[in-house]
Amino acid sequence: MQVLVFILNKADCLEGILEGFLDVGIKGATVIDSMGMARVLGEDKLSNIPIFASMRMIINESYPYNKTIFVVLKDEQVPLAIDVIKKEVGDLNKPGVGILFTVPVNYVEGIAE
């Protein structure tokens, strides 16, 4: 099993992702509001650091928060979830889209089959 974490910068895509999860049989996910470091520290503190100065350009001011999706998946469900996310948000390598990663889960309890 794995936990998939997706930090979604395009909050208007959230509902489509969750509906897509349902369509492929993924029935449980947790969504929380989150905020990136650049947003917390503010542009003025980060503008002197080159990497953060460039990040300023990709922050969408109309969405002050990101949405972070956590979902525990069987290994075979991971590619399905990734496909759903990519269909909804597009190329994850473009700035301002989001960050996606998985982490192995060694133990889980409380997930209904």
Q: Is residue 54 part of a domain?
A: no
In a domain, 58, yes or no: no
Can you spell out the DSSP letters for 52-71?
A: HHHHHTT--TT-SSEEEEEE
What local confidence, expressed as pLDDT, does residue 84 receive? 98
Quick check: helix, strand or coil at residue 50?
helix
Does this model's pTM top 0.85? My answer is no
**65 band by pLDDT with thresholds 50, 70 and 90:** confident
Question: Chain-wide mean pLDDT for the chain?
Answer: 83
The verdict on residue 75 lying in a domain is yes
- In a domain, residue 46? The reply is no
Q: Over 90: is that where the pLDDT of 62 sits?
A: no
Q: What is the pLDDT of residues 78-93, one digit of tens each?
A: 999 999 999 999 999 9
| Number of folded domains that form the chain | 1
Confidence of residue 44 (pLDDT cuts 50, 70, 90): low
Report the CATH number that the domain containing residue 12 is assigned in CATH: 3.30.70.120
Tokens of 101: 């990663």
Indicate whether 41 belongs to any domain. no
